Structure 1
């Protein structure tokens, strides 16, 4: 059975005081049946791990492809693991756009993360121009092929579909559009890795997920959870999303 995962990406938000929200989340949703992940800024990793304990997983938002070296400002997968993280987000559209990361960059980082014992959350998604040109599945297929390394399992890989035009805009694809992409991702994973890995890898939807639309999104074929941005910063917003996933 594919595990369900509610993942929160805090992005470049959060100070020590923000961890009060994590404390609240642990108290309210630390014993749910679905997996819960919070990816805070690197400055908060260790403190977040201390608060989350074994109730909620903690992860990084990016890592370098090298284990160590002269890379000022970067963080390695080993550092994330050492700080208590067990996951890392890779290939987010904001990294692909702001830092011009390619599929090859993402694949190299994923290899490093897997070697360090992290589970990788690899993001894929199309721009509005690509969606309007009916190129969505071609774009997603290329990103899957180029970004995911060969040595993954259903326990070490999570795929997150985030249409770029829906991130932080309040816009979401139709349920049919979400289902089409998630079904496509599932079929590509099964074709490449076999039924075992293909069917056990969680596929998350991300892009303006909020309490008001979470339940209907989780009812879509092959949607196993969500990668949530802004709504994960407050326990009162993220909690209902977790509840909706648990009930789906």
Structure 2
């Protein structure tokens, strides 16, 4: 089963308010997205699962809209959240002191079956917070490494909370330009491996016994290549990284994960990505990158067609 994830970030805010939702009512927009997804047959694709990762405000509307259709029309469409809190709700535990956060138990009760965790933006924000409250963490490479490991530890707590609540996880990892460093690709390889191994070693700690019922997919984000004007990695680079991810997870935790390309699956690169044997899908954010930028289910269908052709 190939995995296609769609991370719809600020589609819970209308364009006139600074977001990117084309409708003034974002809930009506996500209902339209679900209708169109069913119309284009995304729920009936053979051997392809489509998972929408949504802001909390849009989750219930999306889940309720899909429930209006017959199961055979939506069986391969899943709804997930954009992260869970590092603490959770459980019988006999704290049930309410998470006012500004989304506990995994709450996401599950809404109907989420997936969560994206460790997205590059989330890692960056956590690192910035640690640096603001502990300025010494920014003073040397050693302390910087400690701060990064602290972020990996927070990510791990979120992963475990999601799995414990019955939610599957898309765990994102990747290297920045500074972490990759200068020089030839051969010179960069050991630095890339060290960064990814650290994120995986800490981020996946304690997951083995939970994998009989749950699954973890690894999303590889080449952070250095994401954004306007950046040059994306070629197939050789992506193959090297994805093969290493599979190998190191097997060495550390004795399972082979599905690895998807998280640098942005598009019509332009879907064919190339699909030919990399160690890649099992991709992460989509938008389907239209010229102004006005947009996400449209028809565009997603076109990306998937390019991927499977």
TM-score, length-normalised on structure 2? 0.73
Cα shift at 1:110: 0.7
Supply the distance in 1 between the matched residues of 2:156 and 2:276 (Cα, whole angstroms).
28
Determine helix, strand or coil for the equivalent of 1:230. coil
Residues 170, 216 of structure 2: 8 Å contact kept: yes
Supply the distance in 2 between the matched residues of 1:17 and 1:214 (Cα, whole angstroms).
29
Supply the distance in 1 between the matched residues of 2:117 and 2:99 (Cα, whole angstroms).
19
Q: Give the match for residue 131 of structure 1.
A: 180
Supply the distance in 1 between the matched residues of 2:268 and 2:301 (Cα, whole angstroms).
12
Q: Give the match for residue 72 of structure 1.
A: 99
- Please say if 1:142 is aligned against 2:153: no
Q: 2:279 aligns with which of 215, 223, 234?
A: 223
Supply the distance in 1 between the matched residues of 2:52 and 2:272 (Cα, whole angstroms).
22
Q: Give the match for residue 61 of structure 1.
A: 82
Q: Give the match for residue 119 of structure 1.
A: 168
Q: Give the match for residue 109 of structure 1.
A: 158
- Please say if 1:36 is aligned against 2:50: yes
1:2-53 Cα distance to aligned partner (Å, 9 max, x none): x310000011223113211232112211100211100111111111112234
Cα shift at 1:228: 1.5
Q: Give the match for residue 50 of structure 1.
A: 64
Consecutive unaligned residues of structure 1, counting only runs of 5 or more, are none
Supply the distance in 2 between the matched residues of 1:38 and 1:159 (Cα, whole angstroms).
16
Supply the distance in 1 between the matched residues of 2:297 and 2:171 (Cα, whole angstroms).
24
Q: Which moved more, 1:208-217 or 1:103-112?
A: 208-217
Higher RCO by CA contacts (8 Å cutoff, separation 6 or greater) = 1
Q: Give the match for residue 92 of structure 2.
A: none
Summarize the alignment of residues 7-46 of structure 1 with structure 2, pairs less than 5 Å apart. Answer: 7-14=5-12, 15-19=26-30, 20-28=32-40, 29-33=42-46, 34-46=48-60
Determine helix, strand or coil for the equivalent of 2:169. strand
Residues 65, 76 of structure 1: 8 Å contact kept: yes
Cα shift at 1:99: 3.0
Query: Cα 1:108–1:159, aligned 2, differ >3 Å: closer, same or farther?
Result: same
Q: Give the match for residue 295 of structure 2.
A: 233
- Please say if 1:166 is aligned against 2:193: no
Query: What is the aligned-residue RMSD (CA, Å)?
Result: 1.9
1:166-188 Cα distance to aligned partner (Å, 9 max, x none): 33335311110000000000111
Residues 168, 230 of structure 1: 8 Å contact kept: no
Supply the distance in 2 between the matched residues of 1:127 and 1:92 (Cα, whole angstroms).
13
Q: Give the match for residue 214 of structure 1.
A: 270
Determine helix, strand or coil for the equivalent of 2:267. coil
Q: Give the match for residue 95 of structure 1.
A: 122
Q: Which moved more, 1:230-239 or 1:107-116?
A: 230-239
Equivalent residue pairs, number: 241
Determine helix, strand or coil for the equivalent of 1:102. helix
Supply the distance in 2 between the matched residues of 1:11 and 1:114 (Cα, whole angstroms).
22
Structure with the greater alpha carbon radius of gyration: 2
Query: Cα 1:108–1:4, aligned 2, differ >3 Å: closer, same or farther?
Result: same
Supply the distance in 1 between the matched residues of 2:176 and 2:66 (Cα, whole angstroms).
35
Residues 126, 151 of structure 2: 8 Å contact kept: no
TM-score, length-normalised on structure 1? 0.90
